[in-house]
Structure 1
Amino acid sequence: MSEGPALVPGELRGYRQFTLRRDGLYPLVHVSEGPWDGALQHARCAEHGHHPPAARCRCGLYAWYLPGSATVSVGPVAAVVAARGRCVLGDRGFRAESARIEAVTLPASLLWRPRHAASVRAMLARDYPRTRVYRLTRRMLRDHPPHDVRGLGIDPPRDPSRGYRAAAVALWAAFLLAVFSLGAVPHAARVEALTQWWPLLILVILAWQTALIWLFMRLIAQQMPEAPREDDAPG
């Protein structure tokens, strides 16, 4: 646990994701806990029953200091949260005693489903009246930039999530471009090329799949919570 001021007034901003359902915004894990409260969500330790968050436990409400890891997935809702109360600080994120949802970005899939998007907006306005709703993550992050946590003794490492995502999109686009380009090649030339170069083609496809899987695994790893440190003081 990094050394820093013991008490800091105000709220600590963070970024995370939620699963969007008809009755609210659910955490990606521990879905059985139900949707987050529209005003202020309080953490609960289901494993040990102590007051969360504790340094040597995984309890508490998670969020990242920087938005990259919390805005890489397409399906979940990207969100900005404001934490208060006791917080356990890590290198890339924190666990908080309580937090509220400042803002959310609607999933991209809702852009093509206007009626469903309208019902989602109505639910959010009813159950999360203090939460601002955005269509674009870029605009949400412009209005809710990260807090400078260096005063807390934290210097978050550069978040490579957006680079991984851009590389994955580029690999996928290159594959689609290559497939569609084959349509412009005469049939006889395609057959001859496949006959002569099929081992190389298989190696290229395997390399493409391996690179894509590696990028997705790195994206998932960036969103995994940090394990408690052995040198953290109990609390």
Structure 2
Amino acid sequence: MSIVPVPPHADKSFGAFLFDMDGTILNSIAVAERVWTEWAVRQGVNVEALLATIHGRKAIETITHLGLAGVDPAEEVRLLTLAEIADLEGVEAIAGAVAFLDALPADRWAIVTSAPRALALVRLEAAGFRTAPLLIAGEDVENGKPAPDCFLLAAERLGHAIEDCLVFEDAPAGIEAAEASGASVMVVTATHRTRLETSHPGIADYNHIIGHLAADRFLRLHPKAR
């Protein structure tokens, strides 16, 4: 029998798990970059520079930051969202993520994404996830990641102190938001093209871990037997 590695944070107990969506439980990079590339070309924006900034952040903040003359950021976000909703090619779950979330108690986890709710719902369905018990979307907070507001709101609605929560994230903006909130952090590297410099432990996917509600009513991570 092969040795099953102990997952990061296995020595800790948590009240709840908070999951980013894109890049953390599902892969939507291809569609996001297709849609944003087309938008950047139309607007005369440097494609490579723009794509380096879009992941993990609210689209309204990304576009507003560009300061493009004659552009209504809210209208551009509306059009971008419609384009992303219409294009689901290549959207798929990170390995093991569906089974991992399905095994968790419904009142102990939430999805916390910068994406608009309508887009989040179609992507989650396309990737094979059941309806999330709690979904915090981009429009639910005024300040998006890297501000901690979204994670703080999720913890509050689940009824747990943020310090007792474990955030699963993949992008620098989300990791920064989780750090600012006071939560523990697990970095998911499934979609990373280059090594991310971070002090937090990570997992490549969810194939080898399970979340277990212990007798003391706290969540713990355990290795999945092979």
Task: Tell me which interval the TM-score lies in, with the shorter structure as reference length.
Answer: under 0.3
When normalised by structure 2's length, the TM-score is 0.25
TM-score using structure 1 length: 0.24
Return the structure number with greater relative CO, CA threshold 8 A, min gap 6. 2
- Is the strand fraction higher in 1 or 2? 1
